[in-house]
Structure 1
Amino acid sequence: MAHNNTHETEWKGYEKAIFQISFIYFLIQSVPLDWKYYKTVFSIQWSQLNYHDLINITRYYPQFITPSAPEFGYVNWLIVLGIAAIVAAIWTFRNKERTDYDTLYYWLRVVLRYRLAFGVIGYGIIKLFPVQLPGPTLSDLNTPYGDYFTWKIFALTTGISTAWYESFLGLIEIVGGLLLLNRKTVTIGAGLLAAFLVNVVIVNFAYDIGDQVYSSYLLLIALALLVYDTPRLFQLLVLGKKTIANKFHIVFTNQQKSIRTVLRTAFLLFTLLFVGVTGYNYNKDAYIYPKTPGLKNAYGYYNVKEFSINGKPIPYSLTDPQRWQNVVFEKWATISVRTSRPLNVNISNGTSSSQDDIDRKYELAGAGGRNYFNYGIDSVNQVLKLQNKNSTAENWSLHYERPDEKTIILSGKNEKQDSVYIVLDKINKQYLQLKGRRKPLTL
């Protein structure tokens, strides 16, 4: 392997020092050195892939300490920087005679190009379908605005536009990532992604989404790739002066070219695998919401017409902690109940991977005001087995009757073994968000 540089220059002392620190820093940040990462990779059931497995592979970055809050994750950056400074000092001492690092700089950019492409294409695909930010559920449409964390408001607002806006955002990430795979279009791709990721970082901080560190990490890589051509772009576009492109490149042997082609093809095939798996999950099992179908023809919003405990009727109340106010049956096996009693609000972002419906928490994450129950159906005995997803120690067993298509009668025991009797009356409620504003509406 040789290199060809028609404009070879000797590096200044401070340039070498900055490069040495940067080289070590970005290698530690980009190349998986944590054994737990490889444990995750080898624990994946490749015959039953899901997009969470693939996302877990793409979002690696070193964590020496687990932060108590997302913004404290930047401490890990300082640790990596300290390690890089120490190694760079030793490197300088042992290699004082070297005049340039053009070849190493080339390979560092290769690592950063593929690391950034790996990350943004992964997230781009789950926006393109869209899986990352699905539209609001019926329970969401019946939850007061003030009962949401800011991140959930952003997620639902973006998810409403699933057919257009979110998919467009994903397309930008995918296109930017693919541009990084060709050396001639790296600057275009890095510039596109830098502009995109600035917005992502700001959104993470403004809405407290929780991915501040990772989005900043991807932005840092994009900016590092842009640095290479920034002086020439400034001279050309701002100063309007004649600018000579950097002609440095590596001359590969035929065997090395073949290896490079194989690796690039493998990367693209993995990307296509990612597309296929995500598309399958989106059409068959969105995976962020429960997958088990709910009670047949029960989907809808219900007013709680009657509510009794141990034979004692409790009239409708906005303050009684026992009284159910309204109920939503989702298309999947979840019902959500509006009450005034305190509940355990799920403060996660709800995107953790799980095959079990009870552990799929996105529908209740970041929201208050409603208790979410996962339920199993015994259709022979007409019994619903409810388990509270906000507090898994709470279990209800309720017999159901359906005297007509609008009414569901529930009777049985709650978690305290009290006898309960509940009559639900389905309301044909209309939602402006689903109707749009192109036609006259009467609600």
Structure 2
Amino acid sequence: MTNITHTQQKTLSKYLLRFVFLYIVLYIYPYGFEYIQELTTSDISFWQPITIWFGETFLGWEFNDKRLLNGFDSKYDFSRFLLIACLSVIGAFIWMLIDTKLKTDYSKKLKILLKTILRYHVGLTLIIYGLSKVFMLQFGTMDLDRLENTAGNHTGMRFLWDFMSYSEFYTRTSGWIELIGGILLLFRKTTFIGAFISFIAMANVVLVDIGYDVRVKMFAIHLFLMTILILTEDIGRMIDFFIRNKPTVPKTNESLLTGKTSKKIGYVLKGAILSYFIISCFTIYPERISRQKNNRFAFMTQYHTVDLFIKNGDTLDNSEGTRWKNISINGMSYWPETFNLITIDKSQQRFNFEVDTISKEFRFKPTRGEAKDEFLFKFQNGKNKTTTFKGIYLGDTLEVETHYKTFEDYPLTKSRFKWITDLE
């Protein structure tokens, strides 16, 4: 009876291993390859037609194939997850039948291969997201548009983005934790500590994503479960050390490649992967940082409220929907050297701009317009943070008087971190 039970447990273990392996491979390919910067996943994916068919046939969902929202907790994502699970159940069963016929058992090697795939996938993914936080790229920095918007107009996700953008200390620290955990996962000798750090980091991410309804919850949950899979063989040692207060035996992560020649091939392959990844990061991130951080006209970062709007000699009041209401200059941290024009009827348009402080000229054009759609205003700063703009816009002669705010006019950005709260 004991032998029968043991055999059943062994069979179940082998089946689960093959199921998990298939699910992970199918899940990662190709949408998980975020660390391959030059890859366009849609070009090599076979998932779209069969996922849509599966969702329509078995879940009764309708899809807009031009707006699938892939990767954002969409119907398409959940259809693909369920489809992958079904394929993995069937695939693992067929795999077991083949192994039984051939009387082969390579479960140990398969475990090592699975762990290797997980180490590199989680590690490289966390490095990408860690760097995005360290350089304040993922959430941006606190800006005027965020300060002017009200909490009641936010979604939970946008509210979280404001929360993260406020504190560079918190965001950068969480980024360093992800970055360090990801790097440590890339090496067998530091796999455990890397997985342990990554587990803590991803547990926090999952809680936050669920708590604030961030639209990448399933992505985060998958990464979190992957860190648990990496730690599976160490759970017993962790319980002994942290709970039972018992000594533990050091564990060595075995190499996937054991022969002399195969080891050399492995070193070359690993070197090539890491070299590509490092070069790619040195290429991509400076460009992203430059695009988001470089701002020649940071001194113009102002949120204007229009007090007087004269169009072709006529003064327009607030009943005129096309009257300008606000001008948010450098108001969005993601788009430096742009401003957002907001009218009374709440329509918005974004412009690129340049400023000549000597001639007092404000030159701008729509961010998505043609080069010929360029406008020139003269501006003059007055007392008490007021400005007058004069120029021709869309064939109309305008004179616009405003008063504006800067970061110093908002309690959230004026009052920063203090060790002693009442020390002036």
Task: Using structure 2 for the length normalisation, give the TM-score.
Answer: 0.74
Q: Secondary structure at 2:149's aligned position in 1?
A: coil
- Kindly indicate whether the alpha-carbon contact (under 8 Å) linking 1:30 and 1:61 is maintained by their aligned counterparts in 2: no
Match of 2:143 among 137, 143, 153: 137
Match of 1:217 among 222, 229, 238: 222
**1:257 maps to 2:263:** yes
- Kindly indicate whether the alpha-carbon contact (under 8 Å) linking 2:339 and 2:353 is maintained by their aligned counterparts in 1: no
CA distance in 2, matches of 1:39, 1:271: 8
1:156-213 CA distances to partner (integer Å, 9 max, x unpaired)?
A: 2211222x21111111111111221222332322222122112212322332332222
CA distance in 2, matches of 1:61, 1:205: 30
Q: Which amino acid aligns with 1:116?
A: V
- Kindly indicate whether the alpha-carbon contact (under 8 Å) linking 1:176 and 1:189 is maintained by their aligned counterparts in 2: yes
CA distance in 2, matches of 1:178, 1:153: 30
Counterpart in the other structure of 2:410: 431
CA distance in 2, matches of 1:138, 1:32: 38
Match of 2:18 among 3, 17, 20: 20
Q: Which amino acid aligns with 1:407?
A: T
Pick the structure with more helix per residue.
Answer: 2
Greater length-normalized contact order (CA 8 Å, ≥ 6 residues apart): 1
**1:422 maps to 2:400:** yes
Counterpart in the other structure of 1:375: 352
Match of 1:309 among 299, 311, 334: 311
- Kindly indicate whether the alpha-carbon contact (under 8 Å) linking 1:383 and 1:397 is maintained by their aligned counterparts in 2: no
1:343-379 CA distances to partner (integer Å, 9 max, x unpaired)?
A: 4xxxxxxxxxxxxxxxxxxxxxxxxxxx342135597
Counterpart in the other structure of 2:88: 84
Counterpart in the other structure of 1:41: 38
Q: Secondary structure at 1:421's aligned position in 2?
A: strand
Counterpart in the other structure of 1:48: none
Q: Which amino acid aligns with 1:207?
A: Y
Once the two structures are superposed, the pairs formed by residues 201-280 of structure 1 within 5 Å of their partners are 201-234=206-239, 237-239=242-244, 249-250=254-255, 252-277=258-283, 280=286
Q: Which amino acid aligns with 1:98?
A: T
- Kindly indicate whether the alpha-carbon contact (under 8 Å) linking 1:334 and 1:372 is maintained by their aligned counterparts in 2: no
Counterpart in the other structure of 2:326: 326
1:9-31 CA distances to partner (integer Å, 9 max, x unpaired)?
A: 98711111111211222222235
Where structure 2 has 5 or more consecutive residues not aligned to the other structure, the ranges are: 1-5, 53-67
Q: Secondary structure at 1:24's aligned position in 2?
A: helix
Distance 1:413 1:130, change over 3 A: closer
Q: Secondary structure at 1:113's aligned position in 2?
A: helix
Where structure 1 has 5 or more consecutive residues not aligned to the other structure, the ranges are: 1-8, 44-55, 344-370
Match of 1:70 among 69, 73, 76: 73
Match of 1:336 among 337, 340, 353: 340
Q: Secondary structure at 1:12's aligned position in 2?
A: helix
Q: Secondary structure at 1:70's aligned position in 2?
A: coil
Task: Using structure 1 for the length normalisation, give the TM-score.
Answer: 0.72
1:385-413 CA distances to partner (integer Å, 9 max, x unpaired)?
A: 44377xx79x9865412344653323324
CA-CA distance at 1:431 after TM superposition: 2.5
Distance 1:61 1:292, change over 3 A: farther
RMSD: 4.0
Q: How many residues align?
A: 380
Q: Secondary structure at 1:325's aligned position in 2?
A: strand
Q: Percent identity over the alignment?
A: 21
